[in-house]
Amino acid sequence: MATSMRNEPVRLAVATGHVEGTLELPAQPVGVVLFAHGSGSSRMSPRNNQVAAELREARMGTLLMDLLTPVEDHDVKSRFDIALLTRRLDMAANFLRGHDIAGSLPLGLFGASTGAAAALQLAAMRGAEVAAVVSRGGRPDLAGPPALAKVSAPTLLIVGGLDDVVIELNRMAYDAMQCEKRLDIVPGATHLFEEPGTLDKVAELATAWFASHFSKH
């Protein structure tokens, strides 16, 4: 169990109010992972929080942010506005770069559903500044071919074996990417990885991916 956990709330001003998050940093962190949640979810997502807890056990900091204000989140169009989600994720990344501890750490991005598209667009924008990207049940295709082709960060796409449509969309995105990449399909898992043991597998794969690439950054 990680000790001496630093836990601090994050509140970033946007045109329509504020977006909020939680930054947690274990003692002597080896990197920090910024989470981008999916449509209809939030920083309270139990699935992302389970993965984040595993990352912290491996001495990685985590920042789980709401990318939309409560008012914006009621608008379905905002949830699928990848450019808006990317701008908000960029703000969160800027906060991390200016942080007294996280600012010097390798930066990883973890995106779920539509959040994966925002994570990949941000990786395309920030280039070598991003050490690694992981997508869980993501829609990387929504990042668009130009952004996918620009991503240089090593990227792991994780999809449930029973999530047929999303598997195909991930394969299309995978083919468009020129970086180090891997597509892992978790047997017996549906889109939300609710089946016993499947989210544990996601956490295991993500932790290994980030650990491997943080050590090189």
Q: Could you report the per-residue pLDDT of 2-32, keeping only the tens digit for each?
A: 458 999 999 999 988 999 999 999 999 999 9
pLDDT score recorded for residue 2 = 43
Distance separating alpha carbons of residues 191 and 189, to the nearest angstrom: 7
pLDDT score recorded for residue 121 = 98
**Tokens linked to 13:** 């001003």
Q: What does the pLDDT average to over 158-162? A: 98
For residue 40, name the pLDDT band (cuts at 50, 70, 90).
low
Minimum mean pLDDT range among 2-11, 13-22, 101-110, 164-173:
2-11
The answer, yes or no, to whether residue 96 has pLDDT greater than 90, is yes
Distance separating alpha carbons of residues 189 and 187, to the nearest angstrom: 6
Domain ranges of the chain: 6-214
Instruction: Kindly report the pTM of this predicted structure.
Output: 0.95
The answer, yes or no, to whether residue 89 has pLDDT greater than 70, is yes
CATH fold label, 6-214: Rossmann fold (3.40.50)
pLDDT score recorded for residue 37 = 86
pLDDT score recorded for residue 62 = 98
Over 64-125, what HEC string results? EECCCCHHHHCCHHHHCCHHHHHHHHHHHHHHHHCCCCHHHCCEEEEEECHHHHHHHHHHHH
The answer, yes or no, to whether residue 125 has pLDDT greater than 90, is yes
pLDDT score recorded for residue 42 = 63
The helix (run of H) or strand (run of E) holding residue 134 is strand 130-136
Q: Among all chains, which residue has been given the structure tokens 């789980």?
A: 64
Distance separating alpha carbons of residues 88 and 117, to the nearest angstrom: 13
